[in-house]
Structure 1
Amino acid sequence: MTIENTKILLVDDHQILIDGIKNMLEEKGFIIVNKAYDTLSALEFLEKYPVEIIITDISMPGEDGIELIKKVKKLYPEIKIIVLSMHEEKGIVQDAIQLGVNGYILKNITQQQLLRAIQRVKEDKFYISEEIAHILVENIHDKTDTRLLSKRELEILKLIAREYSNKHIAETLFISERTVETHRKNIFRKTNTHTVVGLIKYAIENKLI
């Protein structure tokens, strides 16, 4: 699926940042339909013009990005939203994901990572930066009433989120690689997921984090 000519609305109150992103994306063939500096102006624009993807910050004057996400998902559920923010607090990330954002990335990402995020979201996939994945998975705990994952499986899950190989996990936990592979398969089977991102979404939806 090509991502060129994708119509994007940028929402951020930092003009230098938003101008830089606009110039970079336009060089790659994207159509930046507008720049908005707050939630109100973004919503006013959406009343008149079609957009495929919104890239928004969280902290803005007036109503913040969380309020923008709520309203866009209610009024324009077909529009995909990527959060691009410095906020990496677990609570804020959880709120955004629960509201239905399609991606959450930090402002320290590279140009290629931003393009990858847009590509994944354009393909109807969910995308979060590695740092966010690590933060969320580090906070996963096993609820005593669900007993979904064993203590060992939770330990391995956290290391998977750090992109440890099976060998590295085995060395860290003093177990065999075969045991690690068995636990890995069990984790994905129990949660009916296939990726770390899928695990995180499952954990949030089931209040494990």
Structure 2
Amino acid sequence: MQTEPILIAIVDDHTLFRNGVHALMSEFDELKVVFEADNGKQLQQMLPKHALPQVVLMDINMPEMDGYDATAWLKAKYPQIKVLALSMFEDDKAVLRMIRSGASGYVLKESKPRELLEAIKTIVNKGVYINELVSGKLIRSVAGAGDSPELTAKELEFLKLACSELTYKEIADKMFISPRTVDNYRESLFQKLNLKSRTGLVLYAIQNEIFKF
């Protein structure tokens, strides 16, 4: 049980937004903001000067070093620090690229402060969080609630390939099956895992060690 405040850092090149998030998060007793940074380069400079954050709220599009590169650098140098992507983008490509870079969660900037707080707490306690708007009921699924559903060998093969850069058509070619059969595997997994996006499938695979980047 977390008793001390969760230490967080905010990395975003928009000063007003960053300051606003700082002010909002400072209202929660459960959190403590240890520093802010304009981009990944400044993040690198700030880390040795402050207490290490447990969670970094990371924007994606930033000058000098963007969120993808900054997240990958953090994962290599400070693997104990969790990254929560905080972005305007909700397309699967942006989400998947951040996850491949090492992010543990993804929240849209339009989210309410209370949801952001819960996302931070979920990442610290459970390891993964993704915005409801991005991938449905993912939190409950990846948190391992209940018994894991039984997946067929073909569904597992499809799930691993879904974690790659391949399109669904390319996955069908690689598995020597029709695109319609791939659609069937995808829909079957959505139903079994209570998910509704490819991002959700990827996070489920990572959380359950079916696939590792």
Q: Which residue of 2 aligns with 1:98?
A: 100
Shift of the alpha carbon at 1:200?
A: 3.2
Question: Across the two proteins, how many residue pairs are aligned to each other?
Answer: 171
Superposed CA offset, 1:107-163 (max 9, x none): 1111221111111101132111122226x9xx984833447x764453365xx5xxx
Residues 42, 151 of structure 1: CA spacing in aligned structure 2 closer, same or farther, 3 A cutoff? Answer: closer
Q: TM-score, normalised by structure 2?
A: 0.68
Per-residue CA deviations over 1:159-199 (Å, capped at 9, x if unaligned) read: x5xxxxxxxxxxxxxxxxxxxxxxx44xx4xxxxx866763
Query: 4+ residue stretches of structure 1 with deviation over 6 A?
Result: 194-197, 203-206
Q: What does the per-residue CA deviation read over 1:36-69, in whole Å, with 9 as the maximum and x for residues that have no partner?
A: 1111111111123222110010111211111110
SS of the aligned residue for 1:81 comes to strand
Aligned CA RMSD, in angstroms, stands at 3.1
Q: Which residue of 1 aligns with 2:25?
A: 25
Structure 1 partner of 2:13:
13
**How far apart, in 1, do the equivalents of 2:3 and 2:103 lie?**
19
**Secondary structure, counterpart of 2:46 in structure 1:** helix
Paired-residue identity, %: 29
| Cα distance in 1 between the residues matched to 2:20 and 2:4 | 18
**Matched ranges for 1:175-194 at <5 A:** 184-185=191-192, 188=193
Read off the aligned partner of 1:87 and give its amino acid letter.
F
Give the secondary-structure state (helix, strand or coil) at the position aligned to 2:135.
helix
Amino acid aligned to 1:13: D
Q: Which residue of 1 aligns with 2:40?
A: 39
Q: Provide structure 1 residue ranges, at least 5 long, that are not aligned to the other structure.
A: 161-183, 189-193
Amino acid at match of 1:73: K
Cα distance change of structure 1 residues 65 and 32 upon mapping to structure 2, 3 Å threshold: same
